[in-house]
Structure 1
Amino acid sequence: MFALPFFRRDLPALKGDQVMLRVPFTNDYREWAAVRGESRAFLEPWEPRWTPDELDRTAWRLRISRYREDYAQGTAIAFFIFEKSSGKLAGGITLGNIRHGVSQSGHVGYWIGERFGGRGLMTDAVKVVTRFAFDTLRLHRIEAACIPDNARSIRVLEKAGFRREGLLRSYLRINGIWQDHYLYARIADDPPGAGTKD
């Protein structure tokens, strides 16, 4: 693995219409734990099974270390999503599995606190990260995987211009069960609004 020169510099905040994105800091722990904790029932159906120490400070420190290691290696960048109007932490979004060479691709994954859902914040965040991936990192293709029952996530991806490309059988173990996922993708030269419409 190698890091682009970009990854060795401080990453500026990214701004959208409704959100501001920045890398997580150690002192974000309390706000992160509060948002995740109050949203547990909302998030669990769509995430890997939570560990007993999921929200503990020790687990948080390990998470931050992993974020920094991935960032240093140029394989992933984790962002926290802040609502512009209130400044509150609303969720997280990661551009991961970043590959260069002939692939020039990455994969986006995200979560949002329950009280921030349905406001368009995640759609804005996905658009911001996609623009960053194409314009700054010069990636060609961004993928996202979504459980077929997750109608909210499907809407986010399609509003952000992603197209459904197929079904990945038994793709990820979510909440303790191997789940099928739809594969969505956006290509750098896709026209705006190119996502599948309901």
Structure 2
Amino acid sequence: MNLTRQLTADVELRLVRPSDAESFCAAQYRCREQLRPWEPVRKDEWYEPAFQAARFQAALDNDLIVPWVLATSDRVIGTMTLSNIVRGPWRNADLGYWVDAAEVGRGLASAGVAAVCELADTELLLHRIAASTLVDNEASQRVLQKNGFTQFGFAPEYLHINGAWRDHNLYQRILNKREPGETSAGR
């Protein structure tokens, strides 16, 4: 299974490696104010490479998660994650993503989401991807809509973000109409 895609000449979507921890922590720490309104409150350990290396390895060892990074030749500049993967008749996963504040405006979030959707369809053989955004996160909503996601619901007090339970808009994208177990080629 090939879960890597080249997004631009200098940015690759690839599975996270424990060795990415130091670069990830530096980017997260540098962008902590940008991320604060959109993420859970982070404890100090979040910015420690040893903690992240262990978290990355645990994610790689978990069949219910596919953790990617957006990476240049020398640093991590974002993440894309499919989590809560369900096989069988549902064939569903939840999408989360983040791009370094210094890289915003290059279309990397949209390109990454497009690549993840393609991989979820052709390699992971999923049927549906769900995502949620805070109701006022218009930038993330544009990324999802640009990639064929449609809003299907509203969830009051859905996630604990920035120190409080926050309302979210719920989105989904149907990837295909295949029967469960069929390959992307329909065989």
User: If the length of structure 2 is used for normalisation, what is the TM-score?
Assistant: 0.87
Please report the RMSD computed on the Cα atoms of aligned residues, expressed in angstroms.
1.8
Distance in 2 (CA, whole Å) between partners of 1:189 and 1:13 is 21
The aligned counterpart of 1:145 is: 132
CA distance in 1, matches of 2:174, 2:3: 24
Q: Which amino acid in the other structure matches residue 13 of structure 1?
A: T
Identify the residue that residue 167 of structure 1 maps to in structure 2: 154
Match of 1:194 in 2: none
* 2: CA distance, partners of 1:58 / 1:48: 20
The secondary structure found in structure 1 opposite 2:136 is coil
Distance 2:130 2:124 in 1: 15
Which of 23, 33, 37 is equivalent to 1:41? Answer: 33
Cα offsets for 1:156-195 (capped at 9, x unmatched) = 11111111111011111112211111111000149xxxxx
> Aligned residue for 1:134?
121
- Give, in whole Å, the separation in 1 of the partners of 2:147 and 2:74: 23
Indicate the SS of the match to 1:101.
coil
Which residue does the alignment assign to 1:187?
174
Paired residue for 1:124, among 111, 129, 153?
A: 111
Q: In the alignment, what sits opposite 2:144?
A: 157
The partner residue of 1:56 within 45, 48, 71 is 48
State the one-letter code of the partner of 1:104: R
Counterpart in 2 of 1:24? 16
Tell me how far 1:47 sits from its aligned partner. 0.8
Distance in 2 separating the partners of 1:65 and 1:53 = 16
Deviation per residue, 1:79-129 (Å, 9 max, x gap)? 00125xx76421001011110111111111011111111211010000000
Determine which of 114, 119, 126 is the counterpart of 2:101: 114
The alignment's TM-score, normalised by the length of structure 1, stands at 0.82
Q: How many residues align?
A: 176
Runs of 5+ unmatched residues, structure 1: 1-5, 191-198
1:14 match: 5
Q: Which one-letter code corresponds to 1:97 in the other structure?
A: N
Provide the rounded CA distance (Å) in 1 between the counterparts of 2:87 and 2:51.
30
2:69 aligned with 1:76: no
- Cα distance in 2 for partners of 1:133, 1:189 equals 10
Instruction: Tell me how far apart the structure 1 counterparts of residues 111 and 89 of structure 2 sit (CA, whole Å).
Output: 29
Identity %: 32
Alignment of 1:76-95 (within 5 A): 76-83=65-72, 88-95=75-82
Q: Which moved more, 1:142-151 or 1:61-70?
A: 61-70
Tell me, in whole angstroms, the C-alpha distance in 2 between the residues paired with 1:123 and 1:91.
12
> Taking structure 1 as reference, are residues 87 and 27 closer, same or farther at Cα in structure 2, changes over 3 Å only?
closer
Q: Distance in 2 between matches of 1:98 and 1:130?
A: 13
Equivalent-residue separation in structure 1 for 2:98 and 2:70 (angstroms): 9
